[in-house]
Amino acid sequence: MRGLVVPEPTEDFTADPVELFFDLAFVFAFSQLVYHLVHHPTWTGAFEAWLLFAMLWMAWSTFTWSANAVSGNGRPVRLIFLVATAATMPAAASITTAYEDGGVAFAISVSVILAMALAIQLTAHAPGSEERRSAIQYAQPNIVAMVLYIVGGFLEGEVRIVLWILGVASILFGTIMARRGEWFVRSGHFAERHGLILIIALGEVVVAIGIALLDSLDGTNGLSDSAIVALLAAGLFAGLLWWAYFDRLQPALEHRCEQLEGKPKGWFVVDVYTYIHAVIVSGVIISAAALEEIILHPTDPVPLPFRVMLAGGILMYLLGTVAAVARAYHVVVRERLVASAAILALVIALGSVDGVVLLLAVDAVLIAVLVAEFLRIERPRSATEEVDATTPAAEG
């Protein structure tokens, strides 16, 4: 494709503004997933939301791999990104009706995003190159997935769900087969893109609770004291999740990726970013649904389905970060395992207390784990105890 600039494999770059614009469309999508969870607080509703998230995530992830191979500031790439951004809007708007009349719109929109991503991959590399062959091999199961998505969109009930599950499985199969191929992997770009999508998800925590609270006001009364405390607790919760990722984990994962070469580098990105970050981001979205319920009813006990969402979302987030560190450095972040168990116990034991009290207790556990990590990792070492900052022990 004329005008499509492919940087040298050793050249890294930051995300182009059009990539950030593309991510912003997912704010709408994530908010609709939260809406679905809030209004369908059942295991069936949770599975439905997960399936929609998986379809969106694999499309976003494929686009990230594509953008990693080319310079984002080329006009052809920017044009493709804008088309994908436009397609994301009807996909997001159709989430709440995806299992009803909105299935066709959702399936076609997600397929357009995938098609745009594959278009970049298939035109970025020289004919006959190993990277081009890898892109062709990866495109095949994605094309199968698009067919399954669209056909499923025109069908109804369980058949639609089965076809969509098979579509996601086809793309996952493609990521497994892609391990055999050769890919450009720019560590800084991958780290930045996944950090940005996590910020989008964390922003949804703020948006979801804020909109829900404003909608509940009758226009005559201000915020109650309990509502203000709940808002502060929710804001602190979002900030603690941000700190748990961006203070140490993000740079550590990027650093580890930079140390790898060849196929192990590609395998690392698939495992840590494509797979594990899906768990981390979805954990934030699930937590946002629980927080919305707590903000709306801060002085009432949290219903069991939303306590399950709160605990499940936080556990997915914390255990996802534990898995990322274990994959990168072969060490276990003990504090986060303890925190996961403590939060699970709190949610079970404090089922009858006010929602704001439960949220403050969760915040206290998160603060404790982050402080404990800091003291363990940053504590002064004697000359005989010092460890090179690039070793796994230092990063754990």
Which residue range forms the structural domain that includes residue 43? 1-184
**Are 126 and 21 in a shared domain?**
yes
Query: Pick the residue with more confidence: 383 or 232?
Result: 232
**Are 210 and 123 in a shared domain?**
no
* Domain edge (last residue) among 184, 217, 240: 184
- Of 186, 182, 237, nearest to 208 by C-alpha is 237
- Please report, in angstroms and rounded to a whole number, the separation of the first and last CA atoms in the chain: 44
The region of weakest confidence among 168-177, 212-221, 237-246 is 212-221
Mean pLDDT of 293-318: 92
- Per-residue model confidence as pLDDT tens digits over 76-117: 788 888 899 899 999 999 999 999 999 999 999 999 999 998
pTM of the model: 0.88
Distance CA 275, CA 283 (A): 13
**Are 198 and 178 in a shared domain?**
no
Q: What percent of the chain has pLDDT over 90?
A: 56
Q: Is 383 domain-assigned?
A: no
Contacts for 3-11: CB closer than 8 Å, 24+ residues apart: 3/74, 3/75, 3/76, 4/70, 4/74, 4/76, 4/77, 4/120, 4/123, 4/124, 5/70, 5/71, 5/73, 5/74, 6/69, 6/70, 6/71, 6/124, 6/125, 7/70, 7/71, 9/184, 11/186
- Of 30, 37, 38, 97, nearest to 60 by C-alpha is 30
Q: Is 335 domain-assigned?
A: yes
Token look-up 């937590």 returns 287
* Domain edge (last residue) among 168, 184, 200: 184
Q: Is 271 domain-assigned?
A: yes
- What is the pLDDT, as a whole number, of residue 72? 57
Q: What angle do CA 153, 55, 108 make, to 5 degrees?
A: 40
| Other beta carbons within 10 Å of 147 | 14
- What is the pLDDT, as a whole number, of residue 189? 86
- Per-residue model confidence as pLDDT tens digits over 181-215: 777 788 888 899 999 999 999 987 777 666 656 66
- What is the pLDDT, as a whole number, of residue 221? 64
Distance CA 375, CA 36 (A): 40
**Are 213 and 329 in a shared domain?**
yes
Question: Are the CB atoms for 292 and 212 separated by under 8 Å?
Answer: yes
**Are 224 and 364 in a shared domain?**
yes
* Domain edge (last residue) among 184, 218, 246: 184
**Are 238 and 336 in a shared domain?**
yes
Domain count, the chain: 2
- Of 279, 293, 295, nearest to 35 by C-alpha is 293
- Per-residue model confidence as pLDDT tens digits over 2-46: 444 445 545 556 677 888 888 888 888 998 999 999 999 999 999
Token look-up 């614009």 returns 21
**Are 30 and 147 in a shared domain?**
yes
φ, ψ of residue 8 to 5 degrees: the values are: -65, 150
Mean pLDDT of 337-354: 93
C-alpha pair distances (Å), 229 with each of 73, 203, 215, 226, 286: 44, 19, 18, 5, 21
Joined tokens for residue 281: 């981001």
Q: Is 127 domain-assigned?
A: yes
